[in-house]
Amino acid sequence: MNRDAFLTRVREAAAAGCAHRVHLNDIPGGVGYVGTSAEKCVALADEISAVGGEAIVVESPVAAKDAVATLLKQYEAASALCWKHAVLDRLKLPELLADTNVAVHDHSTLAKLPSDEQRQAILAADVGISSVDFAVAETGTLAVCSKPGRERVISLLPRVHIAIVEESQIVPDLFDVFEQLGKLSFDDLPSNLAFITGPSKTGDIELQLTTGVHGPGKWHVVIVRDA
């Protein structure tokens, strides 16, 4: 392959890989804080769609519960890895999963299993259901701090990740995330902080974008407006 043909192929692959953007365009020079001028639930939903996810904005925890039930039915989920979190408690997630015959695996239930059965249950889960610590409206990014009951594996291993975000968890800009984390004491800092922007993506040496190889191929965010 000659040089021109090689470069043409690289340009075509790079253009195809930009179908779901991972950066902002047309930022004025000298701007350090961008944020968003749109209503933050709408802004977050728009950015999630732009990076390849699916956002659902609802008006109440009841509507959020219905949205999650629809997704579980859509993917014919038999088991789910779940966070322990107040947002999920407000959705009455355990009752929802029981009503839809989806087996629940969380920090408490997994701790009761032998290590080999824990691993089997984690790898077999169809869906991971979490909340977030922060959601960044500017980029459609979820910031997730790992701790007992909020394991990062939930957003990494299952083929489908469903995140429930309340409006109060949305911040305008990435700078706000670090500002909030900076208020924590040393002992309260998480062992791991992950930023999730879209479904799992990877590109090989030829820049061919592939979705879902190293993590969830489907990424749904249910955004609940504050009452």
Q: Quick check: pTM over 0.85?
A: no
Share of the chain above pLDDT 90, in %: 56
* Residue recorded with tokens 């909030």: 180
Phi, psi of 120, rounded to the nearest 5 degrees: -65, -40
Task: Please report whether residue 13 resides in a domain.
Answer: no
Q: Is the dihedral of CA 137, 139, 144, 145 positive or negative?
A: negative
127-162 pLDDT, tens digit each: 999 999 999 999 999 999 988 899 889 999 999 999
Task: Please report whether residue 78 resides in a domain.
Answer: yes
Return all residues near 61 (Cβ < 8 A) that are at least 6 apart: 90, 91, 224
Task: Please report whether residue 27 resides in a domain.
Answer: no
CB 114 within 8 A of CB 122: no
Phi, psi of 210, rounded to the nearest 5 degrees: -130, 135
User: What is the residue-wise DSSP string for 47-71?
Assistant: HHHHTT-EEEEESSHHHHHHHHHHH
Question: What is the rounded distance in angstroms from the CA atom of residue 166 to the CA atom of residue 64?
Answer: 10
Does pLDDT of 98 surpass 80? yes
Return all residues near 55 (Cβ < 8 A) that are at least 6 apart: 44, 45, 46, 48, 49, 140, 220, 221, 222, 223
Task: Please report whether residue 121 resides in a domain.
Answer: yes
Share of the chain above pLDDT 70, in %: 84
pLDDT-based confidence at residue 224 (cuts at 50, 70, 90): very high
Task: Please report whether residue 102 resides in a domain.
Answer: yes
Least confident range from 69-83, 174-188, 205-219: namely 205-219
Least confident range from 26-35, 50-59, 108-117: namely 26-35
- What is residue 148's DSSP assignment? T
Q: Read off the CATH number of the domain in which 172 is found.
A: 3.40.50.10420
Does pLDDT of 23 surpass 90? no
- Cα–Cα distances in angstroms (integers) from residue 207 to residues 11, 12, 59, 186, 217, in the given order: 9, 9, 40, 40, 18
Task: Please report whether residue 23 resides in a domain.
Answer: no
Task: Please report whether residue 4 resides in a domain.
Answer: no
CB 179 within 8 A of CB 165: no
Does pLDDT of 222 surpass 80? yes
184-193 pLDDT, tens digit each: 888 888 888 9
Q: End-to-end distance of the chain based on CA atoms, in angstroms? A: 61
62-80 pLDDT, tens digit each: 999 999 999 999 999 999 9
Give residue 66's domain range. 38-224
Number of domains in the chain: 1
State the pLDDT at residue 187. Answer: 80
Task: Please report whether residue 88 resides in a domain.
Answer: yes
Comparing CA positions, the residue from 33, 61, 72, 32 lying closest to residue 168 is 61
State the pLDDT at residue 215. Answer: 74
